[in-house]
Structure 1
Amino acid sequence: MATDLTPPGADPTRIHNIGYRGYDGPRLGRSYARRSLFSQSLRGAFGLGRSAKSKVLPMILFAVMCLPAGIIVAVAVATKMKDLPLEYTRYAIVTQAIIGLFLAAQAPQSVSRDLRFKTVPLYFSRPIERADYVLAKYAAMASALFILTAVPVVILYVGSLLAELDFATQTKGFAQGMVSVALLSVLFAGIGLVMAALTPRRGFGVAAVIAVLTISYGAVSTVQAIAWDQGSTGVISWLGLFSPITLIDGVQTAFLGATSAFPGEFGPSAGAGVVYLLVVLALIAGSYAVLMRRYRKVGL
């Protein structure tokens, strides 16, 4: 039987000091939270700060992405080539499968887990808005893709200088290649994040990204080849509007002096290139808008 040990007439109220202290440090605000989320997401894309198993796939893909560039440089230096056998602007086109695998693996990792485990509202309970979350995730994914695609271009450029190729020509090609991979990174990041954010299941997100990139490119390439065989060369360039990788091919062909990978090298003219560029910009803006709409539906 419980007994009341409080002396008669004494106040039963007790105040216990259990050691909690108020925070009187600096309030870093939204900008710091946004930068932290960007940094954490960028590091996570390469498995940094995560388990050893999480580092395996992104690091292998990064190494595989750089390996052809290293081989090309070694051959160019050893054989004293007059020019590199692969243009700077063509490197990302040739290695698109690796880029697609990286995006398919890392875009769901960036956003799907937050949705699945319902941790997104915890971000919004801090001094960070939905726009900050979307912008940080988008910028981090685009930056990760840029690192993946730009480093091999840098390797090619350094190798061309070691091989003592024409400095002006190589510098111009290098600049064009960097612009191309920057545009590709922003476009692919938006598409990948949208596909991943539509489902909290990572496996579905991976499949969706691969399907959008692979199926669209395969369909466009097949129809372009058929048009080439049938002599309908006029439609080849317009068909490139229906796949992300052919969109980048068309933009760099029209404005960056690249050689088109389309059948017969029938890339878009400068006039059609404007349409390509507008479609790319529309897809980037549309991806951001879809992400903003998606995260408006995430309840607190």
Structure 2
Amino acid sequence: MATELTPPGADPTRIHNIGYRKYEGQRLGRSYARRSLYSQSLRGAFGLGRSAKSKVLPMILFAVMCLPAGIIVAVAVATKMKDLPLEYTRYAIVTQAIIGLFLAAQAPQSVSRDLRFKTVPLYFSRPIERADYVLAKYAAMASALFFLTAVPVVILYIGSLLAELDFGTQTKGFAQGMVSVALLSVLFAGLGLVMAALTPRRGFGVAAVIALLTISYGAVSTVQAIAFDQGAEGAISWLGLFSPITLIDGVQTAFLGAASAFPGGQGPGTGAGVVYLLVVLALIAGSYAVLMRRYRKVGL
């Protein structure tokens, strides 16, 4: 075997050019990374860009969410009703179980996988910071919930126009319904992501979200019914502060002219409604703060 020998006194150090080239393309920066993460998370909430199996549940829930609106529209057009049997602001309250299932399924999918497989530090190794990650995930989940809840409201509105109902009344109700579902989407997204981010186990995240929404609403509704039976109507409004869905009910009753789902239809007045609104805003801000604190640790 021939061996190349280095001449005496020669420098044995050699530089080999193996063909690596310096990146000369456009550097898109944090804003592009944030938008990409938002888009990816929003698509993932409906299973887009993932396996066919991942699309089944969110698409079924979306179809089930829209089905009652389609039936209401068909009946209103066929029977020439003078008004819709269900108010725009009431639709999300009535279908809250579907919204809760969607959030319970998709919030852990959005954040628990990154925690479980420890990919969060990889995000932060790019030109993206903790605030970008939290903001993109929060905005994506809120957008997914808004799409889920707003489309049925749009169907109701289109149906009311086809049924030739009063344009002004229906447009006002439609606007109130859109404000209601927007507020619900932001509140539920924050609470759902906080519950999901507490554990890397998706199953635990699903259970935590369902428990938060279902148990709190069941407990509040039960105590409100007891208060109504005992003649303590004044306590009913304040009890609604302890459940996410009753918070939304109280805000839209106080400020959007919606009919309350509380026992006896006794929703909060304007004074109590201000408290409801402040609690909703505090929960939204608190959810964001908790997520920021959570990712301060896992991002290291």
Partner SS for 1:83 = coil
Q: Deviations over 1:235-257 (max 9, x none)?
A: 11110000000000000000000
Q: Give the whole-Å Cα distance in 2 for the aligned partners of 1:2 and 1:117.
A: 50
Equivalent position SS for 1:292: helix
Q: CA deviation at 1:299?
A: 4.1
- Measure how far apart 1:7 and its partner are: 6.8
CA RMSD after TM alignment: 1.5
Deviation at 1:10, TM superposition (A): 6.2
Q: Which moved more, 1:211-220 or 1:225-234?
A: 225-234
Q: 1:204 to 1:130 in 2, by over 3 A?
A: same
C-alpha displacement of 1:14: 4.1
CA shift at 1:42, angstroms? 0.4
CA distance in 1, matches of 2:127, 2:243: 38
Unaligned segments of structure 2, at least 5 residues: none
Q: Is the 8 A contact 2:176 2:256 kept in 1?
A: yes
User: What are the within-5 Å matches in structure 2 for residues 29-48 of structure 1?
Assistant: 29-48=29-48
* Residues 220-244 of structure 1 deviation map (CA, whole Å, 9 limit, x = unaligned): 0000111111111111111000000
Q: Secondary structure at the match of 1:180?
A: helix
Q: Secondary structure at the match of 2:252?
A: helix
After superposition, what is the alpha-carbon deviation per residue over 1:235-290, rounded to whole angstroms, capped at 9, x for unaligned? 11110000000000000000000000001001000110000000000000000000
Deviations 1:118-163 (A, max 9, x none): 1101111111110111000000000000000000000000000000
Counterparts of 1:19 and 1:77, CA distance in 2: 70
Partner SS for 2:165: coil
Please say if residues 130 and 299 of structure 2, whose CA atoms lie closer than 8 Å, have aligned partners that are also in contact: no
| 1:15-26 pair list within 5 angstroms | 15-26=15-26
Change (3 A) 1:208 1:32: same
Shift of 1:19: 3.3
1:274 paired to 2:297:
no
Paired with 1:237 and 1:2, the residues of 2 have a C-alpha distance of 93
Between the aligned partners of 2:271 and 2:207, the Cα distance in structure 1 is 35
Match of 1:193 in 2: 193
In structure 2, the residue corresponding to 1:297 is in which secondary structure?
A: helix
Q: Is the 8 A contact 2:65 2:95 kept in 1?
A: yes
3-state DSSP of counterpart to 2:298: coil
Q: Quickly say closer, same or farther: Cα 1:18–1:180, change in 2 above 3 A.
A: same
- Name whichever of 181-190 and 225-234 sits farther off: 225-234
Mapped to 2, the partners of 1:76 and 1:197 lie a distance apart of 43
Partners of 2:240 and 2:2 lie apart in 1 by 82
Shift of 1:26: 0.8
How far 1:8 sits from its partner (Å)?
A: 6.7
Measured after TM superposition, the shift of residue 4 of structure 1 is: 5.8
Per-residue CA deviations over 1:17-72 (Å, capped at 9, x if unaligned) read: 43322211111111111101100000000000111100100000000000000000
For residues 196 and 104 of structure 1, the distance between their equivalents in structure 2, rounded to whole angstroms, comes to: 8
Range with bigger deviation, 123-132 or 3-12: 3-12
The residue aligned with 1:150 is 150
Contact 2:131 2:292 in 1 (8 A): yes
Distance 1:88 1:5 in 2: 87
Instruction: Provide the TM-score with structure 1 as the length reference.
Output: 0.97
Q: CA deviation at 1:298?
A: 1.5
Tell me which moved more, 14-23 or 111-120: 14-23
Q: What is the Cα deviation at residue 2 of structure 1? A: 10
TM-score (norm 2): 0.97
Distance in 2 of aligned mates of 1:263 and 1:177: 21
Aligned pairs, how many?
Answer: 300
Structure 1 CA distance, aligned partners of 2:2 and 2:93?
79
Identity %, equivalent residues: 94
Structure-2 separation of matches of 1:276 and 1:77: 37
List runs of 5+ in structure 1 lacking aligned partners: none
Moved more, 18-27 or 77-86: 18-27
Deviations 1:58-89 (A, max 9, x none): 00000000000000000000000000000000
Instruction: List structure 1 runs of 4+ shifted beyond 2 angstroms.
Output: 1-20
Aligned equivalent of 2:97: 97
The alignment partner of 1:200 has SS state of coil
Q: Distance in 1 between matches of 2:258 and 2:71?
A: 22
